[in-house]
Amino acid sequence: MTDRDIPDIVVGRLPRYLQALEHLQLSGAQTTSSQELGEIVGVSAAQIRKDLSQYGEFGKQGKGYSVSYLVHQLQQILKVDRVWPMALVGAGNLGHAIANYPGFGQHGFRITLIFDNDPVHIGTRIGPLTVQDSARLVPVLREKKIKIAMLTVPVRAAQSVADQLVEAGVRAILNYASITLSVPDHVHVQYIDPIIYLQRMTYYLD
Amino acid sequence: MTDRDIPDIVVGRLPRYLQALEHLQLSGAQTTSSQELGEIVGVSAAQIRKDLSQYGEFGKQGKGYSVSYLVHQLQQILKVDRVWPMALVGAGNLGHAIANYPGFGQHGFRITLIFDNDPVHIGTRIGPLTVQDSARLVPVLREKKIKIAMLTVPVRAAQSVADQLVEAGVRAILNYASITLSVPDHVHVQYIDPIIYLQRMTYYLD
């Protein structure tokens, strides 16, 4: 079975398994079980066993999983066993907050370029980086071979920036703008939308 | 079957169905099908029919779903057919970005209180709101009967603020701090973690 045959919904659960395993690792756990993982992630033990079995045999019957081994395997499967340089487009409040978020570096993601089209922001520094003019987006991203970009521009600018990212060869866009982007099939888009998370919780309120 | 019997994973898909339906509604669509919805959300048509059937009979065999009716039903099920007042704790860059995000109001969520413990922020205004001293968090939230809070404080402060939110009667926390919170069973926590989304995409890169 090639990667392409595995449903996206299964792939979508793998980062959550990895996150749970990394928490277990930080807490000093050596081994875990599909039951324990399932309780952390909120998925059935059977589902976890089925999802992982798509990629190989990671545990021993009755012995559970080695936490560090499974972390390593999932990092390889998710291709986060390397450092990914990223571009950030949009140097407003949200862009600043994201640029200063230490979690990216801790997980192999490194923001190496920041762009904005506002003269107020262009040339200013955010940490070690200088905000560059969005007009240079396409040639700079091409030259640096950037494959991942984060979009923190206003809704009205999001689609045109996304078009430029596609033109520049970007293959994955993390979109914070609350708008559905139209991109070619070979480009992946994920949406960070707090509404979705809030609605998951109001369901349980009275 | 009572709501409590429906798995959390099913509940978690409902906001995504609602979001897709709202997009369809904005684009002028009157009816939709489980196939179309499935393509937008990235879930099988059978899964959508099965999930929705937990709550009733919303479509007619061969006729599909009325978009506006299903939007209305899902809003009721998710309890977003009303306005939820929310507190925001943490008035830094991310807090500012979130306070200025128009999407909350458009979906029935309204930030009515903002807190911070830093004298630099206390007393400053963000839009129509004045940042209040976190020291007053518990009595103010109790008095206003706030049930939902968003947490945009540094990691080191997140757990102690969460403890205060629980004490104040908050039942749902949207946590932007990259730390797993320990809360009682009756309190719901959702985590907004960009790493998870990035890892879903690197899987497909080469």
Q: Where are the domains of chain A?
A: 3-77, 84-195
Asked if B100 reaches chain A (Cβ–Cβ under 8 Å), the answer is: yes
Which of A12-16, A46-50, A177-181, B147-151 shows the lowest per-residue confidence on average (mean pLDDT)? A177-181
Q: Does residue B7 carry a pLDDT above 90?
A: no
Asked if the Cβ–Cβ distance from B97 to A101 is below 8 Å, we say no
A-chain CB neighbours of B150 within 8 Å are: 194
Rounded CA-CA distance B12/A196 in Å is 8
The pair of three-digit structure tokens given for residue A181, joined into one six-digit string: 């982007």
CA distances from A52 to A10, A57, B73 (A): 9, 8, 36
What ipTM was predicted for this assembly? 0.91
* pLDDT of A97: 86
- pLDDT 10s digits, B59-115: 777 778 999 999 999 999 999 999 999 999 999 988 998 998 888 988 999 999 999
B-chain CB neighbours of A3 within 8 Å are: 203-204
* pLDDT of A3: 53
Distance from CA of A134 to the nearest CA of B (A): 21
Asked if A97 reaches chain B (Cβ–Cβ under 8 Å), the answer is: yes
Rounded CA-CA distance B91/B151 in Å is 10
In chain B, what percentage of residues exceed pLDDT 90? 69
* pLDDT of B57: 84
Asked if A185 reaches chain B (Cβ–Cβ under 8 Å), the answer is: no
Asked if A75 reaches chain B (Cβ–Cβ under 8 Å), the answer is: no
- pLDDT 10s digits, A23-50: 899 889 999 999 999 887 777 899 999 9
Question: Which of B131, B134, B135, B136 lies closest to B121, judged by CA?
Answer: B131
Among B residues 45-74, those touching chain A with beta carbons less than 8 Å apart: none
Query: What integer best gives the mean pLDDT of chain B?
Result: 91
Q: What is the mean pLDDT of residues B152-160?
A: 90
Q: Does residue B50 carry a pLDDT above 50?
A: yes
Q: What is the widest separation between alpha-carbon atoms in chain A?
A: 62
Q: What is the CATH number of domain A3-77?
A: 1.10.10.10
- pLDDT 10s digits, A108-120: 999 999 999 999 9
B-chain CB neighbours of A92 within 8 Å are: 97
- Residue A99 corresponds to which amino acid? A
Q: What is the CATH number of domain A84-195?
A: 3.40.50.720
- pLDDT 10s digits, A160-180: 999 999 999 999 999 998 777
Residues contacting residue A192 through CB under 8 Å, at least 6 positions apart? A174, A175, A176, B192, B194, B197
Asked if B192 reaches chain A (Cβ–Cβ under 8 Å), the answer is: yes
Asked if the Cβ–Cβ distance from A201 to B94 is below 8 Å, we say no
Distance from CA of A78 to the nearest CA of B (A): 4
CB B154 within 8 A of CB B137: no
Classify residue B184 by burial, with Cβ atoms within 10 Å: 0-12, 13-18, 19+: exposed
Q: What is the mean pLDDT of residues B165-171?
A: 98
